[in-house]
Amino acid sequence: MLTKRIIPCLDIKDGRTVKGTNFVNLRDAGDPVALAAIYAEQGADELVFLDITATVDERKTLIELVRNVAHTINIPFTVGGGISSIADVSALLNAGADKISINSSAVRNPDLVNELALEFGSQCIVVAIDTRYVDGEHIVHTHGGRKPTPLRTIAWAKEVEERGAGEILLTSMDTDGTKAGFALELTAKISGDANIPVIASGGAGTMDHFVDVFTTGKADAGLAASIFHFKEIEIPALKGYLREKGIEMRL
């Protein structure tokens, strides 16, 4: 049985870790390099680093910061934000990222998923899907969740897998930062349909929310930010609790 993964997420703005609710009302959560070191030490399975305003500001991800984080940790490290070309990915992998995450650029140019998978291998291409429930349908959003698209979330998840994505990072913007629990029904639908791992993001507030997302939601990994940044839940305690509940964890 495959072990489930716990993944802290560093949302980066102006070189600092930030966290908000439904992608707005951001507050400072600390130095990303220091936080990354703590999470690696605590037993996080992976780390995700998202430069959340890179696309909105029309600039590239902060390469130097990526390099500093990579030097500090010894766990797989995914970087996203403002990535739109093979050259962008090369630069980030050379700076120490293990995987890259694309979102707005994949929506704008779906062939980019195919190109990156062909060039670097599916194993390092994560497609992030930010989704909101609008008028009875799950709709893909871009630009840090600011812009709705014509894409339907479930169909888009299937398409990016077919195009060569190695993993899907699914963020429910309706639950993001609310600490009311993950979007279980949508996560279960996408995880059930997919032949690649699905990382669930948005809504973690308690240890039982992770139990729910791994069982009912069928997710392969659970991603969270504020509960870890503000020490509401410690990763070793969470992993111990999940083991007690019969969920396979790497301790």
Residues 64-102 pLDDT 10s: 899 999 999 999 999 998 899 999 999 999 999 999 999
List the structure tokens of 18.
Answer: 């930030």
Longest dimension (CA), the chain: 45
Give pLDDT tens digits for 20-57: 555 455 666 678 899 999 999 999 999 999 887 666 56
Round to whole Å and give the CA distance between 224 and 50. Answer: 12
43: left (phi over 0), alpha (psi -120 to 50) or beta: left
Give pLDDT tens digits for 140-189: 999 877 899 999 999 999 999 999 999 999 999 999 888 999 999 999 99
Inter-residue contact 70 to 100 (CB < 8 Å): no
The DSSP result for 26-73, as a single string, is EEEEE-HHHHHHHHHHHT-S-EEEEETTTTTTT----HHHHHHHHHH-
Annotated catalytic residues are 11, 130
Q: How many helices (H) and strands (E) does the chain have?
A: 10, 12
Residue ranges making up the domain that contains 177: 5-244
**Per the domain annotation, does 51 fall within a domain?**
yes
Give pLDDT tens digits for 178-198: 899 999 999 999 999 999 999
Average pLDDT of span 117-131: 98
**Per the domain annotation, does 251 fall within a domain?**
no
Number of domains in the chain: 1
**Per the domain annotation, does 249 fall within a domain?**
no
**Per the domain annotation, does 250 fall within a domain?**
no
**Per the domain annotation, does 78 fall within a domain?**
yes
**Per the domain annotation, does 163 fall within a domain?**
yes
- 231 exposure class (CB count in 10 Å sphere: 0-12, 13-18, 19+): exposed
Inter-residue contact 165 to 120 (CB < 8 Å): no
**Predicted local distance difference test score (pLDDT) of residue 31:** 85
- What CATH number is associated with residue 45? 3.20.20.70
Inter-residue contact 193 to 161 (CB < 8 Å): no
pTM beyond 0.85: the answer is yes
**Per the domain annotation, does 171 fall within a domain?**
yes
Please state, for a pLDDT cut of 90, what percent of the chain lies above it. 77
Instruction: For residue 29, give every residue at least 6 positions away whose Cβ sits within 8 Å of its Cβ, in sequence order, or none.
Output: 11, 16, 17, 18, 19, 35, 225, 226, 229, 230
Round to whole Å and give the CA distance between 87 and 105. Answer: 14
Inter-residue contact 101 to 50 (CB < 8 Å): yes
